């Protein structure tokens, strides 16, 4: 699975009207990529783990903006 770039995520989320589910969706994505990062780490693929953790941070930041 190829994760979307951080810029792609930010571009997709620009201009979205905050709604009750948007923060929950973003946090669920952060959780999903946290699990993917852990799987990559266990598998010894540190490069992909780092990319997944960057996505986690991005989703968490975007969710915080919806607070």
Each residue's pLDDT tens digit, 11-55: 666 655 555 468 888 999 999 999 999 999 999 999 999 999 999
Cα gap 3→48, rounded to integer Å: 9
Q: Is residue 46 part of a domain?
A: yes
7 in any annotated domain: no
pLDDT of residue 61 exceeding 60, the answer is yes
Q: Does residue 1 belong to any structural domain of this protein?
A: no
Is 26 part of any domain?
Answer: yes
Name the DSSP letter for residue 49. Answer: H
Number of domains, the chain: 1
**Domain that includes residue 31, residue range:** 19-65
Check whether 56 has a pLDDT greater than 60: yes
Alpha helices in 1-67 (DSSP H): 6-13, 22-42, 46-65
Tell if the pTM clears 0.85, that is, is over it: no
Within-domain flag for 10? no
């Amino acid at each position: 699975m190829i994760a979307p770039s951080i810029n792609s995520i930010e571009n997709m989320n620009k201009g979205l009207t905050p709604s009750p589910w948007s923060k929950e969706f973003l946090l669920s994505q952060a959780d999903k990529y946290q699990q993917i990062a852990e799987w990559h780490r266990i598998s010894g693929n540190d490069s992909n783990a780092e990319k997944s953790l960057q996505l986690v941070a991005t989703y968490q930041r975007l969710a915080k903006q919806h607070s």
